[in-house]
Amino acid sequence: MRGPLLLVILGLTAGVALVSVLAQDPGYVLLQRGDYRVETTVVALGIMAVIFVLAVRLVYRVLVALLGIAPGVGRWLEKRKENRESELVRESFTDVLAGRDAAFNQKLGKLERVSWFSEVYLKEARDWVFTRQLATAQKHDKLKRLWQNAAAHQKHDPVFTALYAGHLLRVGASSDVEAQLLGLADKGWPVEATAVLAQLRVSKPDTLISKLTKLAETTPSGDAATGLVIAKAQAMTGDQGRQLLTDYYATHRSAGVVTALGTLSLTSA
């Protein structure tokens, strides 16, 4: 009871104070538009505003009670929004199936505003678009721009770095590939990195061997051990490298070792 009573007292006090002030100077308001003008006092304008608001609320409630217009409109708008979101998702899915990467990428901004399209799905969608962009890039400069504009989590992910290195190798940027592999040997060596190394003859095998040796000791769960064997084979002369890969393959069935053996045979010929 104290709360409502206190509000009533405060309201009455404020009302008395306002009436006292307006009694001395009711104020002057001029509204003019073109040849029409309305002159009134602040009090009269306030009363008219209150009456207008009350009238609008009254009309609204009458319409709701008699016709149910407002709830119906609300349901119609909600249904329309759901239909637009469903159509957007269908179009996006069609773009993915058809390989229209650019069209799907343009829809990502709108998908972000779909309430039930979670951040996890958005991240996966962005990663898919980025992977497709790397795969379709045909020039070295295009790949570098894509990598420069990549998201932070993509640049720090060893798998994405290895994929980037693989596409660099595809367009013939061997020196950049080696730089990416040396960087991976410092932070993490996924199987994708081994696949790239298997297709390349590095110019600094000793540096890569040193880095991979440390990585294999600290991160035994990665593929650094296989990468280390391939790097050592590339540093050897004659048939020693091929023999090392053959012996390693006998106990570690790895597609990367087979590829590396073929690369070593071709480059040594």
Tell me whether residue 255 is in a domain: yes
- In whole angstroms, give the CA distance from residue 179 to residue 183: 6
Tell me whether residue 253 is in a domain: yes
pLDDT at 157: 93
Whether residue 231 is found in the same domain as residue 162: yes
Whether residue 102 is found in the same domain as residue 218: no
Task: Please list the residues that pair with 31 across neighbouring strands.
Answer: 38
Q: Which residues of the chain have pLDDT under 70?
A: 1-31, 34, 42-46, 62-74, 76-77, 115-117, 220-222, 268-269
Whether residue 192 is found in the same domain as residue 97: no
* Residue 264 dihedral angles phi and psi, to the nearest 5°: -65, -35
pLDDT at 89: 76
Whether residue 147 is found in the same domain as residue 242: yes
Whether residue 130 is found in the same domain as residue 216: no
Whether residue 123 is found in the same domain as residue 223: no
Whether residue 177 is found in the same domain as residue 94: no
Last residue of a domain, one of 39, 67, 95: 67
Last residue of a domain, one of 67, 92, 125: 67
pLDDT at 80: 76
Whether residue 154 is found in the same domain as residue 247: yes
Listing DSSP states for 87-104 in one string gives HHHHHHHHHHHHT-HHHH
Tell me whether residue 17 is in a domain: no
Range of the domain at 28: 22-67
pLDDT at 2: 59
Tell me whether residue 154 is in a domain: yes
**Which amino acid does the sequence have at 144?**
K
Contact assessment for residue 171 and residue 143, using Cβ atoms and an 8 Å cutoff: yes
Q: In what helix (H) or strand (E) does residue 15 lie, and over which residues does it extend?
A: helix 2-24
Q: Please report, for the domain that includes residue 224, its CATH number.
A: 1.25.40
Task: Please list the residues that pair with 40 across neighbouring strands.
Answer: 29
Tell me whether residue 3 is in a domain: no
Whether residue 129 is found in the same domain as residue 169: no
Last residue of a domain, one of 112, 136, 160: 136
* Residue 249 dihedral angles phi and psi, to the nearest 5°: -70, -25
Whether residue 175 is found in the same domain as residue 259: yes
Number of domains in the chain: 3
Tell me whether residue 221 is in a domain: yes
